Amino acid sequence: MTALTQLSQAIHDAPRWHQAEQFQDGSEIRIEPQHDQALGAVVYGLDARKAQSGETIYRLKQALAEHLILIFKQQTLDDLQYLAFASYFGSIFRPGADIPVLASQDETGTPPDVVPVSNAVGKGDYTGHGELAAHADHQWTPLPSFGSLLYAIELPQDGGQTSWFNTIRAYEALDDATKQHLDQLQLITYNPFVRAKSNKGTNGYGSTPLYRFKDQPIVGHAYPHPLVRTHPESGRKGLWLNERSEVELVNYDDQAGSELIASLREHLLKPEFRYEHQWQQGDVVFWDNQVTLHSRRPFPAEQRRLLKRISLAGGRPF
Ligand code: OGA
Ligand code: MN
């Protein structure tokens, strides 16, 4: 027999229902919305190593669609347990080898199912210790992931907080004329990992323009998506634009387009749309990439930080 993939192994090894002590009692789970924040609910009493009932998973999916991020406290997971839990919510995000993303491997062109997000694991140091501008994971791909999870294993003493932004609230705060105008627009978000590859030596976003004017070269392929996307479960609309990628509005005047995008970016990042998470070891945060952005504060290079990320596959934005 051939060896199993990590994902098949995870589900093969998952707890079986006859072992009562490994089956989560759903009545132990509390989901507490963060009413004083722009988004988020905290989930207490759930052990993600255990088998979960259908009611529990459905409850969590509904809570995610409503609160946009779920914060699970006090988890202790190995990679297989983490994959088995994440898979209740969808397929693992596996882009084609033609689409470079964070942690794409030279040998396969694709990322591992569990991505170390760390300054502390040698070869797997994909994000360093600097600030990360607000983004949705894999926004620049033809089929962006619908959600991601981060699991906190080692944390620095200082900095490294992650913030999430509620892009539904940001859209709803616009006036009606602006909403109607934006509803008609498509946006191309160019893949920063293509630029990084073609620009060896320069790091990340440093030299990336914020908007492509038509006389500038196109770096990579273009996948236009709606600037305002509709959440597939709740039907609510959110802005689908990040803080710092090179973008371009389809069939739009260069100067007007770059000014519109700059003003929307400023709007999106307002504090009233933001929740900043102070990580505790054992936290798993599960967020909806379709209607949130996330950013990270820098932290000192000499302090270790290790989180692990799993991203789930999504459909074509509409
Ligand atoms: C990511 C990411 C933020 C962080 O892994 O997609 O944006 O806080 N991480 O490390
Ligand atoms: Mn991210």
* pLDDT tens track for 222-279: 999 999 999 999 999 999 999 999 999 999 999 999 999 999 999 999 999 999 999 9
Query: Could you tell me if 150 and 280 lie in one domain?
Result: yes
* pLDDT band per the 50, 70, 90 thresholds, residue 69: very high
Query: Could you tell me if 218 and 77 lie in one domain?
Result: no
Query: Could you tell me if 153 and 202 lie in one domain?
Result: no
Query: Could you tell me if 207 and 138 lie in one domain?
Result: no
CATH of the domain at 180: 3.60.130.10
Last residue of a domain, one of 233, 251, 268: 268
Residue 47, ligand 1, Cβ within 6 A: no
Query: Could you tell me if 66 and 122 lie in one domain?
Result: yes
User: Is the pLDDT at 202 greater than 50, yes or no?
Assistant: no
> What is the 87 CA–ligand 1 centroid distance (Å)?
19
pTM of the complete model? 0.96
Range of the domain at 153: 6-160+275-312
> What is the 149 CA–ligand 1 centroid distance (Å)?
9
Q: Which two tokens stand for residue 293?
A: 């952005």
Query: Could you tell me if 131 and 226 lie in one domain?
Result: no
Neighbours of 77 (CB within 10 A): 20
Query: Could you tell me if 112 and 184 lie in one domain?
Result: no
Classify residue 97: in a domain, yes or no: yes
User: Is the pLDDT at 32 greater than 90, yes or no?
Assistant: yes
Query: What's the average model confidence in pLDDT over 26-33?
Result: 98
Classify residue 57: in a domain, yes or no: yes
Classify residue 1: in a domain, yes or no: no
Q: Which of 150, 278, 304, 312 to mutate to test the pocket of ligand 1 (most atoms within 8 A of CB)?
A: 150
Residue 292, ligand 1, Cβ within 6 A: no
Strand locations in the chain (E): 30-33, 41-44, 69-72, 115-118, 132-135, 147-154, 162-166, 186-189, 225-226, 228-230, 237-239, 247-249, 274-277, 284-288, 292-296, 306-312
Q: Which atom of ligand 1 is nearest to the CA of 307?
A: 10
The tens digit of pLDDT for each residue in 115-166 reads: 999 998 887 788 999 999 999 999 999 999 999 999 999 999 999 999 999 9
